[in-house]
Structure 1
Amino acid sequence: MPRKIIFGWGCRQHLAEELPRWGTRVFVICGSRTLERQGVLDHLRRLLERAGVTWQFLTTISREPLVCDVDAVTGQVRSIGLRPGDMLLAVGGGSAIDLAKAVAAMATNSQGESVQDYLENVGRGLKLTQPPLPVVAVPTTAGTGTEATRNAVISSLDPPFKKSLRDDRVVPLVAVVDPELTVTQPPHVTASSGMDAITQLVESFISNRRKPIPQMLAPEGLCLALKWLTTAYREPDHREAREAMAQAALLSGICLANAGLGMAHGIAAALGVVAGIPHGLACAMMLPAALRANRTVVGRELAYLTRHALEKDFPNDDAAVDALIEAVEQLRADLHLPQKLREIGVSQEMIPKIAAGSFGTSMSGNPRPMSQGEIEDILCSLY
């Protein structure tokens, strides 16, 4: 997890004091939606000037980062020339932060021609030999938790894939989590990013790599998200709801970084690659199915999670797991998220390819081994 986490309404003001502690020159990457918000860039510029650091604006990004994005921005940084005290500041959603994390790593590691050479299961399998540049992450969405993770998710259109650059040193040095920055999210972003956080909290809790600390944090995060996501969606200015969702997202990142994920994320990655489905939307689609598939092997763990997250007791474990599935499906309906794959542009012809592409790092953490045929059956049931 980050060396330092600053959390609170308006806490982005602390950037002025925080940045000089870690460097003297800042490369800035922003999400495009962040830049569209009136006054945000001017405010960021004033904070950087107050910090007394020099800064260089690199790029914006409006979608999940591609290999070509990382390579292009890395080329920018190298052409400018590195010097002691350089760092990256990422202000935006998960895409902006993942791009910054990958660029920070590639700027100091040049054994490969492309970031693809360092991604899991593709390219040359190269490892980082030099520490990345420090990254200060300022999330403007509440979902991915990438401000606290040791990977950056990078995609490619040709060949199609979605893989991680993973190294303990990729974790941002500092995470500045200001819930106020999430207030202007469009409702559909609040919904899908929130469902991503919920899926991460559930899957890290039942992962076959589950560990004690995530087991303590995930129930608290899930309780916050199930209680407050609908309010954040319906009332964008609701401070308590925004604070709760920012905390839940941060906890989800800490949990997944230490315990891994599972089937829902495995299939969600393939849905993104094959059908172009946004990640949070894909997670929302797959989580109930993942709960049903895994309850036979982690029913007791899911029941424990449910009792803490819903803050109520149940007559038996089966009733508790039923209640969790019902709560997730009701939440999905309240957020007006699609219920069927055909509603989001997935064709039946895509299903075998999606199933075949689901067996990446996330799926390896699933508590129940799944076959390609079982995944195809699940996808067909959701069509």
Structure 2
Amino acid sequence: MTDKNLSRLPPVKSVLESLVQNGVKYKVYDSVRVEPTDSSFKDAISFAKKDSFDVFVAVGGGSVIDTCKAANLYACHPDADFLDFVNAPIGKGKPITGPLKPLIAVPTTAGTGSETTGVAIFDYEPLKAKTGIASRAIRPTLGIVDPTHTLSMPQRVAANSGFDGSNPISDVWSRHALNVVAKFMKRAVRDPEDLEARSSMHLASVFAGIGFGNAGVHLCHGMSYPIAGNVKTHSAKGYSVDHPLVPHGLSVVLTSPAVFNFTAPMCPERHLDAAEILGADIRQVKREDAGPVLAETLRQFLFDLQVEDGLGAVGYSSDDIPALVKGTVPQERVTKLSPRGHSEDDLAELFEASMKLY
């Protein structure tokens, strides 16, 4: 499984050549949608159900790998209703009890970590909300992480996928990932031929995936789902798609300065560690200033990478905040992991603070 754009590029060609050389029969599905929807998942599921495939291979970024996870799941559970395994409260959240076919993930972006996680995210169009399927059962059997597969990744795709990997600030895996991101992300975005930087970001994606696969994510991700799901007209640079799009990594990172300013009082030391890793001089910083310091460090990092100037730059205004809050509330699976409790008023303030970054 892959998408239309990748189907013409070297990563897919190399995978198909390998299959041919080893006498493996295959069929290609190249209709994966960037930022999948329930409709696009169902189309891939329909394809997967038509034949009795022994193995699934996903060649692409998080959208491709997540779509392939869903296709594998429902092909192996053909009698299940689509919402059976979708996370509550949108779906029924039923446990996955039966075996799935092996799934080999070949990531072509660096940041989503989808090759290491048991999560498949999509836009549920009837509610204009992002949700997903979360179970260790759908985690890929094998991830083949080849940094040369990222060399064809456009600059903005490299930036937006990298932000997904840079966001978790927890445990040893994520700390190491953040160190790598701080050192190599700007190089990887600015020079597609920088193999050391692209290789390092690919490895950081794996580390981050292991990190947030265990520790979880919280407000930035929960708030990102309605940001991506309610997109109106924004056209993401570097993406060959025919629909409005706020890429997942971008939707996550736009709220990060406000969110980490908000959560800092619960653990100032770890927030200051993150600021230092990203380049801040924290020697004279007081614990109570951890939030503002990390927030400003993140803003500078995003500015240096020419990231859009807040939610306002991707088509939102203060009038949209009630809908954004409404779309965040059902994401309790992740938002409840926030180190600081929050109300709907807090969420509204965080969205307002994220309208403009610079």
Same fold (TM over 0.5): yes
| Mapped pair 1:147 → 2:115 | yes
| Mapped pair 1:119 → 2:86 | yes
Report the AA paired with residue 283 of structure 2: F
Which residue number in structure 2 is paired with residue 80 of structure 1? 51
CA offsets 1:218-265 (integer angstroms, 9 cap, x no match)? 111101101111111111111111111111111111111101111111
| Mapped pair 1:273 → 2:226 | no
Query: More deviation in 288-297 or 67-76?
Result: 67-76
Cα displacement (A) at 1:71: 2.1
| Mapped pair 1:52 → 2:23 | yes
Find the partner of 2:6 among 21, 31, 34: 34
Distance 2:299 2:280 in 1: 18
Aligned positions of 1:254-269 closer than 5 A: 254-269=210-225
Aligned positions of 1:354-373 closer than 5 A: 354-359=324-329, 360=331, 361-373=333-345
Report the AA paired with residue 236 of structure 1: P
Distance 2:93 2:221 in 1: 22
Distance 2:296 2:2 in 1: 37
Cα displacement (A) at 1:306: 4.0
Report the AA paired with residue 57 of structure 2: L
Contact 1:220/1:308 (<8 A) preserved: no
CA offsets 1:307-341 (integer angstroms, 9 cap, x no match)? 45659762445366655433321121111111222
Distance 1:311 1:216 in 2: 20
Which residue number in structure 1 is paired with residue 96 of structure 2? 128
Cα displacement (A) at 1:286: 0.8
Which residue number in structure 2 is paired with residue 162 of structure 1? 130
Report the AA paired with residue 298 of structure 1: C
Which residue number in structure 2 is paired with residue 289 of structure 1? 258
Contact 1:223/1:310 (<8 A) preserved: no
Aligned positions of 1:1-383 closer than 5 A: 29-37=1-9, 39-82=10-53, 86-114=54-82, 116-121=83-88, 122-199=90-167, 201-202=168-169, 205=170, 215-275=171-231, 277-307=246-276, 310=279, 314-316=283-285, 318=287, 322-359=292-329, 360=331, 361-383=333-355
User: Secondary structure of the residue that 2:29 maps to in structure 1?
Assistant: strand
Distance 1:280 1:246 in 2: 15
Contact 1:307/1:314 (<8 A) preserved: no
Report the AA paired with residue 327 of structure 2: G
Contact 1:231/1:238 (<8 A) preserved: yes
Contact 2:261/2:294 (<8 A) preserved: no
Report the AA paired with residue 15 of structure 2: L
Contact 2:116/2:206 (<8 A) preserved: yes
Cα displacement (A) at 1:54: 1.6
Percent identity for Structure 1 against Structure 2: 25
Distance 1:45 1:60 in 2: 17
Query: More deviation in 164-173 or 122-131?
Result: 122-131
Distance 1:331 1:31 in 2: 30
Which residue number in structure 2 is paired with residue 15 of structure 1? none
CA offsets 1:92-150 (integer angstroms, 9 cap, x no match)? 01000000011111111134232x22100123333222112111001101111010001
Distance 1:124 1:218 in 2: 31
Distance 1:304 1:36 in 2: 42
The 3 A distance-change label for structure 1 pair 311 and 332 is closer
TM-score, L = length of structure 1: 0.83
Query: More deviation in 280-289 or 49-58?
Result: 49-58
- Cα RMSD over matched residues? 2.0
Which residue number in structure 1 is paired with residue 237 of structure 2? none
Which residue number in structure 1 is paired with residue 234 of structure 2? none
Contact 1:156/1:162 (<8 A) preserved: yes
- How many aligned residue pairs are there? 338
Gaps of 5+ in 1: 1-28, 206-214
Distance 1:347 1:233 in 2: 29
Distance 1:180 1:306 in 2: 30
